[in-house]
Structure 1
Amino acid sequence: MSEAADTRQQFLSVATRLFAERGFYGTSIAAIADELPYTKQALLHHFGSKEKLYGEVLKGISDQLMTELEAARDATSGEGSSALEDTLIRFYRLLEGQTHKTQLLMRELLDNKHRATSANVWYLRPFLESLIALAKQASPSTFASDAQALITVYQLLGAMNYFLVSEPTLSQMFGEEMYRELRSGYEEKLRVLISQAIG
């Protein structure tokens, strides 16, 4: 990796974490640069603006999710209910170790009210469209329209993401032992939820 590419990656890594912790509006270019041995001007040289940096962060997460989706399709021949289930379980396992990305995606839904009307690119749209297609392949009789499939996909992703970002609260509220039990049983419950949703 070249020095310039390495610098960009460092900025993206810190930006992902800070955007997740503080949201788009609560994170400044200066705060990101302060965590690295670079200046604010260096960050702007690489990305141009906070908006463009944020777009790159979302694109990186979307690309990672799409890679997992393709891998799940390849592993299951891309057909039937097993393709959707395997894909969603892969997402859960991926995000289980990277909860800051889950937190960022949830913050994006909450924080983008003002930016949504002027957004030119929706980085997560191809990912959601692919899940819609998988849901319709899994159960054509259940999902007659894209909207019906998206409702179910969104509910499943929501349940998964809500659980993942709840770790600090649940472990403090009910204790580490109970949280470990919750964590160990969640994937199986998620499989049941997916199976019931497909019909």
Structure 2
Amino acid sequence: METKTRFIETATRLFAERGYYGVSIAAVANELALTKQALLHHFGSKEKLYGEVLQTISNRLMEDMSRIVQASENPREGFEACLMYFYDALQSRPDDTLVLMRELLDNKQRAENAKTWYLKPFLDSLCDMALAASPKRLKNQAQAFVVVYQILGAMKYFLVSEPTLVQMFGSKNWKAFTEHYEPELRALIAARLD
């Protein structure tokens, strides 16, 4: 595995577990068996390392979305396929899910000073896709954004709740929940487009 990739994956895991404010450059360096100075040499600051984590997640999502859209027969099929891909990606990469949730929830102080919004292109693309998928229902970018955000929020909230719901209801019930979730998610997407 490439060195930078290993650094970013380790940082992603730590930011997912502890949030932006709970992770220091020293903690990431320690996990990687590096000195703090060696890690700073690669990224310059904790903010830049965190930016690389967000950029990596965004790039992966954008590349996969582009591939899915190109393979789709129409805008609606492409939009639905991208959302279902995103749901699968969040399941298979739980650290990404937590980082994205923490970015929304823990970002109050940093938001005022942010110069780059790494996930904005991803959200903009999904909004454009929603508009193309449902031009009769969605009349403007604001409506499309709300629909996209509701659907993404439903996915992320469900997936980050797994540890609590497993403890609360048991593994067998969680398995049943997940079996029923995907068809309900598809129904939610269809309802928001019709």
Alignment TM class, shorter chain as reference: over 0.9
1:171 counterpart residue number: 166
Match of 1:20 among 12, 16, 20: 16
Specify every segment of 5 or more residues in structure 1 that has no aligned partner in the other structure, as ranges: none
- Identity over the aligned pairs, expressed in percent? 54
Matched to 2:120, the amino acid is R
Give the drift of 1:37.
Answer: 2.0
Matched to 2:105, the amino acid is L
The aligned runs of 1:103-182 (5 Å cut-off) are: 103-182=98-177
Matched to 1:80, the amino acid is P
Match of 2:26 among 24, 27, 30: 30
Asked whether 1:42 is paired with 2:38, we answer: yes
Q: Is the 8 A contact 1:72 1:83 kept in 2?
A: yes
TM-score with structure 1 setting the length: 0.94
Indicate the RMSD between aligned Cα atoms, in angstroms.
1.1
CA distance in 2, matches of 1:46, 1:9: 12
CA distance in 2, matches of 1:130, 1:80: 12
CA distance in 2, matches of 1:186, 1:68: 22
Bigger Cα displacement from structure 2, 29-38 vs 40-49: 29-38
Q: Is the 8 A contact 1:68 1:91 kept in 2?
A: no
Give the drift of 1:118.
Answer: 1.3
Match of 2:58 among 58, 62, 73: 62
Matched to 2:104, the amino acid is L
CA distance in 2, matches of 1:105, 1:67: 17
Cα deviation, 1:27-56, whole Å, max 9, x if unaligned, reads: 011111111221111100000000000000
CA distance in 2, matches of 1:112, 1:7: 28
CA distance in 2, matches of 1:118, 1:130: 24
Cα deviation, 1:77-111, whole Å, max 9, x if unaligned, reads: 4x332111111001111111111111110101111
After TM superposition, which residue ranges in structure 1, 4 or more long, deviate above 2 angstroms? none
Specify every segment of 5 or more residues in structure 2 that has no aligned partner in the other structure, as ranges: none
Give the drift of 1:112.
Answer: 1.1
2:3 counterpart residue number: 7
Q: 1:147 to 1:46 in 2, by over 3 A?
A: same
Matched to 2:6, the amino acid is Q
Cα deviation, 1:104-148, whole Å, max 9, x if unaligned, reads: 101011111111111111111111111011100111121111010
Matched to 1:60, the amino acid is T
Secondary structure of the structure 1 residue equivalent to 2:109: coil
Number of residue pairs aligned between Structure 1 and Structure 2: 194
Cα deviation, 1:60-88, whole Å, max 9, x if unaligned, reads: 000011012112101204x3321111110
